[in-house]
Structure 1
Amino acid sequence: MSCSRGNIIRKRPQKHQNKTAFKNDLHDTSKKTKVLNNLEVNGVCERCKEIIEWKIKYKKYKTLSAPRKCVGCELKKVKYAYHVLCTDCGKEKKICAKCCTSFDVIKKSDEENEDNNVNKYQSILKNLPERKRRTLLRYIKKQEDGQEISSTAIEALLSEIDKINLDDDLNDESSEDNLCGSD
């Protein structure tokens, strides 16, 4: 059994697998579902936005029947489910209306994630063979002309590294070697 004590390796695939993706409006054509599908989530951080969008996508979102009391101003102005602050207090204090974290902290964590991605790509470049690494670096220089390259562009380059024409790069290397040999 997969739930028996000490059994950490499962030997079979999961029993019930979905053949089609879930659609929240497949059998339900009510006005409520249409309104929820068109609902725009604003005033929350990215993580909370993803959580609320997931709830809407999989029909787990429960709307408020009456406005709730705001934690900030203590008036009944919260009109969106899962929010603890009204939109006015959230904008005024510059914090997420759901989890009450400041947007500055969220931006710093995003910058840290970007730094981690750069470190990850540097480690990938270190692990590449010398020929492919130099080819990739030359290709990046040709594409960007000294500008910073984003992590998504590096991912695309790494996935397409075999498509880069190595014959042109070999000609470039031989001309560089000739220049170095003449000094």
Structure 2
Amino acid sequence: MSSQKGNVRKTGSQKYQNKQAFKNSLHDTTPRVKLMNNVKLGGVCKRCKDIIDWKIKYKKYKPLTVPKKCTKCLEKKIKQAYYTICIQCAKEKNVCAKCGEKTEIVEEAELMSAAEQMSNEAQFEAELKLLPERKRRTFFRLQQQGKLTKELLEEAKGLAEDDEFFNDLDDFSIGDDDDCRKLDEGEDSDVSDLDEK
């Protein structure tokens, strides 16, 4: 290519072709890279999602260190890098959280971040440990049988101290457990008959 004025177009393909694609975690396995690869994008349009995915793929993504101010509600609620609108405002106005345009949203955003979900799960496990052994086992048994729905799990979080939740759980028990329930409730007529003989 000469330096002649106007002759700036390259001809032919690039000189060195890559044999393998770039891998952002090949030599760098720091927590920052793991966090970057596990980022869940939501509430953005297809174009903005592709832009952020490119930044993640080629290690150009820089996560936020402190929450950013939303351009709509002017509160420090933005926890995702490159977003300009908080998720609540974006959902209310039905716009992209990055560019702010009213386009089709690719994925719905979760209102809780991964860290908040992990803290909620840890809190839920701590509450389960505080329950008496029988109630805890009842909970795990019903969960294993698939009889616990999402609504009941949410009730369990709210009513961990109350016995009402576990009384409701008794309604879901199988016929084999009826004998155990009768003994728990004090209906031990068969046992008293045996004692009299």
TM-score band by shorter chain is 0.5 to 0.7
Question: Which position in structure 2 is the counterpart of 1:62?
Answer: 62
What is the match of residue 103 of structure 2?
103
Could you say which structure has the larger radius of gyration?
Answer: 2
CA deviation string 1:106-126 (max 9, x = no partner): 89xxxxxxxxxxxxxxxxxxx
Q: What per-residue deviation string (whole Å, max 9, x for no partner) do you get for residues 74-116 of structure 1?
A: 0000111111000100011000011000126x89xxxxxxxxx
The answer for the alignment partner of 1:50 in structure 2 is: 50
Q: State the one-letter code of the partner of 2:100.
A: C
SS at match of 2:68: coil
In structure 2, how many angstroms separate the alpha carbons of the residues matched to 1:4 and 1:51? 36
Deviations 1:3-24 (A, max 9, x none): 6432265344323332211000
1:113 is aligned to: none
Query: Helix, strand or coil for the counterpart of 1:55?
Result: helix
Q: Which aligned runs of 4 or more in structure 1 are off by greater than 6 angstroms?
A: none
Seen in structure 2, the aligned counterparts of structure 1 residues 70 and 15 have a Cα distance that, compared at 3 Å, is: same
| Cα distance change on mapping 1:15 and 1:4 into 2, 3 Å | farther
The correspondence of residues 19-168 of structure 1 with structure 2, limited to 5 A, is 19-103=19-103
Deviation at 1:32, TM superposition (A): 1.4
Counterpart-to-counterpart distance in 2, 1:82 and 1:3: 39
- 1:5 aligns with 5
Extract unaligned runs of 5+ from structure 2.
107-197
Give the SS at the match of 1:53: helix
Aligned amino acid, residue 15 of structure 2: K
Identity of aligned residues (%): 54
Partners of 2:81 and 2:28 in 1: CA distance: 21
Would the alpha carbon gap of residues 73 and 26 (structure 1) be closer, same or farther in structure 2, given more than 3 Å must change?
A: same
Point out where structure 1 has 5 or more consecutive residues left out of the alignment.
108-183
CA-based RMSD:
2.2
Residue 49 of structure 2: SS of its match in structure 1? helix
CA distance in 2, matches of 1:90, 1:31: 29
TM-score, normalised via structure 1 length: 0.53
> CA separation of 1:22/1:91 partners in 2, compared to 1, >3 Å: closer, same or farther?
same
Paired with 2:102 and 2:16, the residues of 1 have a C-alpha distance of: 41
Retained in 2: the 8 A contact 1:72–1:85? Answer: yes
Paired residue type of 1:73:
C
Number of aligned pairs?
Answer: 106
Alignment partners' CA distance in 2, 1:76 and 1:5 = 51
Aligned-partner residue type, residue 52 of structure 2:
I
What amino acid maps onto 1:88 in structure 2? Q
The higher relative CO (CA closer than 8 Å, separation ≥ 6) is in 2
